[in-house]
Structure 1
Amino acid sequence: MTTTPMARPATYRDVFAVGQFRVLFGSYTLFLIGETVRMLALSVTVYASTGSSLMSAVAYTAGFLPYAVGGMLLLAFADRWPPRTVLIGYEILRAAASAVLAAGILPVPAMLVLVFVTGVPSAVASASRTALLPDLLDGDCYVLGRAAFSVTAGGTQVLGFATGGMLMALVGASGALWSTTATCLASALLLHLCLEHHPPRRTDTSAGISDTWHLNRALLRHPRIRALLLAQWLAPSLMVGAEGVLVPYAAQVGAPGAVGLLFAALAAGMLLGNLIVGRLVSPANRERIGRPLAFAIGLPLLIFMLHPAPMYAAILLTASGFGVSYQLALAHRFLDAVPEKQRGQAFGLQLTGMMTLQGLAAAAGGALGEVVTPALVVTLAGGTSALAALVSWRTLGPARRLL
């Protein structure tokens, strides 16, 4: 069913009054905290073991790239399996993988393979979670619910990076990874006890690799959906090329201990952007400011050519992260563009493309960091992100500008 955005912004009180949303929100928070700690612990561990910017970036993106595989092979199941079953099963799988990583029984290459393989179903889990939101929230409450998830992503990453740094200082990377195991199990328990059963959107039995490919192609052939996907993918994904070299950048400027600050600053910018734009800006005005916000993702990163000190670098990263809130202007437009029975797959495709491009951009940034300075890599990431915003300039404008 197509819904119409409200004339005024919804309130977080409206959104959190929905009990099932609170359950989904709580499990997502636990998921993000554990995942953030795992990514930081794994990236730092690999860099300490190898001294390689490329390997550090590969470790950081090992949880991103499986989206490409899952998105190509498994997305059709997002509309055919109950969301509760998918989410609980994935949390249990993550818990088992984190426990193996924490045990320290694998060499670095095997650790990366494990993270990659167990991350393949993440595309289906993310699609199921995101597609459940419009079933729980109507109108602008849906947009604010998406904003709340993005705010949570920023806030829990700030908390997760800070917590991960403290945990590694206190109990080492292994202890930090055990904490991820605990958050996975806590999330699975919350979903098992509190999330209601929601039936699958489709009951046919044709789900599989060929069906996933067929539906993905059909969605991408639709001009409106394709334009909205590219507008959501390109600018923020290219910016992630900078994230892939933040660990060596901190070392380059003589402050290796500031890596947590840099990651947290970017996450804090995303938190503030989604909080302010989602809550204080009306639906119509969100669309009006979508273009400058998207352009602002890359512009602050150009200043990294001056090799800013960690505190100034953190301010620039915060400004860059704030710009990601432009996606709120496209949230309801994308929901209305996709068929309801394919909603899970459509959201899965959106998430798959985003995560895949982010992983490739971070890996490319790490590879480039082997031959040029990390500061130059960040600068180039900012420049390509700004160019991507220009490419999607027409789509990023108010809806009436679209044909």
Structure 2
Amino acid sequence: MSSFAAERRATYREVLAVRQFRALFVAQLLSLVGDRAAAVALGVLVYERSRSPLLAATVFGLTFLPHLFAAPLSVLVDRMPRRRVLVLCDLARVPLVLLMLVPDAPLALLFVLLGLVTLCEVPFDAARTVVMRSVLDDDQYPVGVALSSAVYEASLLIGSLGGGLLVAALSVRGCLLFDVATFVVSAVVVRLLVDEHAPVVEPDEQQSGLRQTLHFLLAPATRRMLWLALVVAGVATGAEGLSVTVAYSLGGGASLTGVLAAAIPAGTLLAGLLVPRLLTRTQQRRVALPLAGVTVGALALCALPVGVPTLVGLWALIGAGCAVLVIANPVVMAAVPDAHRGRAFGICSSVLMAAQAVGILAAGTLADHLSPTRALAVLGGLGAVALLPVALRGLAAAEGAADARHEVVAG
């Protein structure tokens, strides 16, 4: 009873009033805005020089690939002061982007530079997350995660449009210089407003290894929450990967593609902001499985002969269920000691990226043999099967608790 009474719902104003979180929030915002603009600008540059849609698409693919190598890079966060990692990652990206401005630079060089720029995001995000966990208390941290997630989803939602407008207004060169400026300002903000946050060094070096980090991540409660997040991320990303195919199969073309592509991040943004604001930490953990069920259920309903507005609503529900990821982050960070959080963040990022890749591959394979909407329904069914072990374990735990209460009453 006392643990429930101790929990409270922190407000967004309260979280934004924390100086160091506010600095991290601004740094993340600057980084995302600059990166989205630079990705669009580089995509335009590559297409103008090559006239190859594949090479232009490769630009956007390279913004995700380095996260597969997140685990080894994130170890830096457990070895160096976290503020230093943040500043070095920002400053390292400045010369890399400037090199992209070299006239007639080979496309292969541009791809390598973009990959290296994205690679710097991995320890930056890990350090930002670990510092955020340190400066916010247990009730504030889920709200801080929600704000960070909202910024990310909003960048996906408006990134292409905003990047296109910036390219039109500033030119490709101007967008890349704008990206450089965001990194410089971010580094200054972090250096002036964020404390050093030296990592906790454990006396036994072996205890800081991969095996011990996995031990924390694979604890039953943490493992179940991670599994929910992986399943939801995988099937939701698979649905996003079919947005073009679904739109054209319904005769909607490019306009419907844009609406569907925006519906999932919009649903994630809204639900991600509401869940931590309206629910306590215990309540959030309780709704994690139902939220995952919303995603797979909405996918399954896509096979029904519904109109386009209803389909868009279902896609927004797919995104709403992704609020599970906002719930999972605080659970994982609470289960892992400070000395292991950088590595833990990297492992989770790598596994999450792998789950998204599997989701896209599965969705594409299904769509090759079925209609796009039926492929989505089957993907939802596979997701439901994957959630079944967690659901059964939760049911068994509930029955065990009910039996225990009955014995107490009978006694």
TM-score (norm 1): 0.79
Compute the displacement of 1:98 (Å): 4.1
Report the alpha carbon displacement of residue 355 of structure 1 after superposing the two structures with TM.
Answer: 2.9
Pair 1:86–1:224, CA change in 2 (3 A): same
- My pick for the range that moved more, 35-44 or 153-162, is 35-44
Which 5+ residue runs of structure 2 have no aligned equivalent? 402-411
CA distance in structure 1 between the aligned counterparts of 2:4 and 2:21, rounded to whole angstroms: 20
The aligned residue for residue 150 of structure 1 is 149
Of the two, which has the highest radius of gyration? 2
Give secondary structure in 2 for the equivalent of 1:8.
coil
The answer to whether the 8 A contact 1:242-1:377 is kept is no
Alignment partners' CA distance in 2, 1:402 and 1:56: 55
Aligned length: 396
Q: Distance in 2 between matches of 1:375 and 1:361?
A: 15
User: Could you say if the C-alpha distance between residues 166 and 367 of structure 1 is closer, same or farther in structure 2, counting changes exceeding 3 Å?
Assistant: farther
Partner SS state of residue 390, structure 1? helix
Q: Which residue of 2 aligns with 1:162?
A: 161
Distance 1:257-1:7 versus aligned 2 partners, 3 A rule: same
* Correspondence for 2:10: 10
Helix, strand or coil at the partner of 2:139: helix
* Contact kept? 1:290, 1:397, Cα under 8 Å: no
Q: Is the 8 A contact 2:96 2:116 kept in 1?
A: no
Letter in 2 for 1:351: S
14-23 or 169-178, which moves further after superposition? 169-178
- Aligned equivalents of 1:160, 1:5: Cα separation in 2: 41
Show the counterpart of 2:121. Answer: 122
Q: Cα RMSD over matched residues? A: 4.1
User: Given the superposition, is the C-alpha separation of residues 349 and 152 from structure 1 closer, same or farther in structure 2, using an over 3 Å criterion?
Assistant: same
Cα distance in 2 for partners of 1:108, 1:397 equals 55
Q: Is the 8 A contact 1:79 1:343 kept in 2?
A: yes
1:288 is the counterpart of 2:295 = no
> Does the aligned pair in 2 maintain the 1:245–1:377 contact within 8 Å?
no
CA 1:99/1:86 → structure 2, altered by over 3 Å: closer, same or farther? Answer: same
Alignment-derived partner of residue 87 in structure 1: 86
Give, in angstroms, the shift of residue 141 of structure 1. 0.9
> For the structure 1 residues 213 and 247, does the alpha-carbon distance in structure 2 shift closer, same or farther, using more than 3 Å as the test?
farther
Counterparts in 2 of 1:322-341, with a 5 A limit? 322-341=320-339
1:264/1:162 CA distance change after superposition, 3 Å: farther
Q: Specify the alignment match of 1:70 in structure 2.
A: 70
Asked if 1 retains the 8 angstrom alpha-carbon contact of 2:31 and 2:186, the reply is yes
Change (3 A) 1:242 1:106: farther
State the percentage of identical aligned residues. Answer: 28
Distance change (3 Å), C-alpha of 1:174 and 1:23: same
**Are 1:133 and 2:126 matched, yes or no?**
no
Deviation at residue 137 of structure 1 after TM alignment: 0.8
Evaluate the alpha carbon distance shift between residue 45 and residue 184 of structure 1 in structure 2; reply closer, same or farther with a 3 A threshold. same
Give the AA of the match of 2:345.
F
How many Å apart are 1:151 and its aligned residue? 2.1
TM-score in terms of structure 2 length: 0.78
Cα separation, partners in 2 of 1:323 and 1:141, compared to 1, 3 Å: same
Aligned residue in 2 for 1:28: 28
Q: Which amino acid aligns with 2:125?
A: S
Matched with 1:315 is 313
